[in-house]
Structure 1
Amino acid sequence: MKHWMLFAVLALPAWLGAEIPEGFTPLFNGRDLTGWHISQTNHHGKTPEWRVVHGVLTGTQQPYGEGGILLTDRRFRNFEVYIELMPDWGCDGGLFLRSNEAGQAYQIMLDYLPGGSVGGVYGERLQGVEIQPASGWRTVWKRDEWNTLRARITGETPRIQVWMNGVQILDWTDSANHAAGGAGDGMIAVQVHRGKRWTEAGFHRFRAIAVKELP
């Protein structure tokens, strides 16, 4: 039954209900992984299971327990990223901001599983960054539907703001720039977390990924 439901969801046209906000430039063309690449050096793994199915970018563990990250080819400094997502319950992942090839980044958590959080900030392999949970994300999250997420990062000392389905759920400024090497720019990435907290045969799904560069 689960596999049938997954097929039914992915068979729907990806553009149905998707709308990139004005001023944003698409990062994902809905056909293939042009403009993106799989990291071969991050600690979560080198999973090849990033696929485009009916206009939706899907990520899963393959083999079970093995994760990985998919990075933009381009680097960005001050920007806002827009993404629509619909993960299966039990999937652990993230949206990386100013990432390097090894996946060191400011992460917007997409930990959609028991005890998890969506929309908060975590320093992925960054020293000195404490977890910043997003307040009230559960009240605006739409289960088993497409959700919109906007994440903005600006400044040499990073300020990160997050909106879910149009409602701001986080506004946080770091105490210093804790990015690897003090970097002020980096790639955007999506993550499939390694480990066996992940629901077997579960998928993260993304569509309408876009960016707006800021001064």
Structure 2
Amino acid sequence: MTNDEGFRPLFDGRTLAGWHAVPRLPVPRYPGGPGPDKDAEAYKKAAATSGKWTVEDGAIAGRQDPPGCGYGGYLVSDGLYGDFELEVEARPDWPADTGILVRASALGSQGFQILLDHRRSGNIGGLYGNGIGGFHGIAFTLDAVYDEQGKPVGLQPEDPAASIEPLTSDKPAILDYAASGEDFLSVWKWDDWNTFRIRVEGASPRITVHVNGLRVAELDAAALEHPSYDAAAVRELLGAKGRIAFEIHDNDPGMGDARWGPNAACRWRGIRIREL
């Protein structure tokens, strides 16, 4: 981690004080876009759970509730934050599709997401526009390495021909800076704690993501060009300050348990912030 000057903890290591859980509700893809059918059975099921968030061995653990139900949730900060540096350690199971949202709305599902898609065709450290345009700023995708017994034992670059989410040329073009998959894998620690440092600065923020000291991605939201992204509309939706949120993803029909395993969890600790 960086030096302690100016940082303060957002997690006391014992309780969820300062945080609250909300359902992972469908939202319009972009501000003002068509919304979900709130009478649909899937919407009602999503609204009925916020995931299961517990404190275990000094870390926050997030799971689907009940396990394998296929519906997720968010753990959302009570506080609102504008310009800041955030540090957090994460330890995801495989597969677990999660992420860290910044400048998020009270719903949790609207904001800039730093990806932690620890599953096939996933990316770690790139950015996604949750409910703010659906842009996908990534430069590599990943898959697991399996041993002879079929147990996942590490990460490797994904074969582009086998990807279920193709890495099209528009995705890395969104980023101002992107590390290669090989550079990322040189610092990532399998089945261990990995440190994210996220800097968020500006009305339409510039977001810089480091993982274990490696700069992985940088996005300038003021200059971002994407068919469904409108910087002014996003500023109006999210405001100058927003919440920090951790995600438990749903299991969609296309991926099922390959997106979030029935007993999978992601764990978070060392959560601290330095406001700028």
| Number of the residue aligned with 1:27 | 10
Q: Between Structure 1 and Structure 2, how many residues are aligned?
A: 195
Q: Distance in 2 between matches of 1:159 and 1:88?
A: 29
Q: Percent identity?
A: 36
> TM-score with structure 1 length normalisation?
0.84
Partner of 2:91: 86
The 1-side partners of 2:128 and 2:196 are apart by 16
Report the AA paired with residue 108 of structure 1: I
Q: What's the offset of the Cα at 1:135?
A: 2.5
Task: Tell me by how many angstroms 1:41 deviates.
Answer: 6.9
Equivalents in 1 of 2:265, 2:89: separation in Å?
A: 14
What's 2:104 paired with? 99
The TM-score normalised by the length of structure 2 is 0.67
- Listed as ranges, the matches of 1:53-202 within 5 Å are 53-63=56-66, 64=68, 65-103=70-108, 104-127=110-133, 130-133=135-138, 134-136=178-180, 137-174=184-221, 175=223, 176-177=231-232, 178-179=234-235, 181=237, 183-195=239-251, 196=256, 197-202=259-264
The answer on whether the counterparts of 2:117 and 2:123 sit within 8 Å (CA) in structure 1 is yes
Unaligned runs of 5+ residues in structure 2 are 27-45, 139-177, 224-230
Shift in CA distance, 198/213, structure 1 to aligned 2, threshold 3 Å? same
Q: Quote how far apart the aligned CAs of 1:139 are.
A: 2.7
| Distance in 2 (alpha carbons) for counterparts of 1:105 and 1:24 | 23
- Kindly report the root-mean-square deviation, in angstroms, between the aligned alpha carbons of the 2 structures: 1.8
Q: Which moved more, 1:106-115 or 1:32-41?
A: 32-41
1:2-24 CA distances to partner (integer Å, 9 max, x unpaired)? xxxxxxxxxxxxxxxxx674121
Q: CA contact under 8 A between 2:71 and 2:250: conserved in structure 1? A: yes
User: CA shift at 1:40, angstroms?
Assistant: 4.5
Alignment of 1:2-13 (within 5 A): none
Change (3 A) 1:130 1:48: closer
Structure 1 residue runs of 5 or longer lacking an equivalent are 1-18
Show structure 1 runs of 4+ deviating over 6 A.
Answer: none
Alignment correspondent of 2:268? 206
* Residues 111, 40 of structure 1: alpha-carbon distance in 2 compared, 3 angstrom cutoff: closer
* 8 Å CA contact 1:90, 1:202 repeated in 2: yes
Residue 157 of structure 1 deviates from its aligned partner by: 1.9
CA deviations 1:45-91 (Å, max 9, x no partner) are 53341000111110011122110000110000001110001101110
Aligned to 2:237, what secondary structure does the other structure show? helix
Aligned-partner Cα distance in 1 for 2:186–2:117: 16
* Rg larger in structure: 2
- Provide closer, same or farther for how the CA distance between residues 201 and 138 of structure 1 changes in structure 2, counting only shifts above 3 A: same
- SS in structure 1 at match of 2:121: coil
| Corresponding position of 1:51 | 54
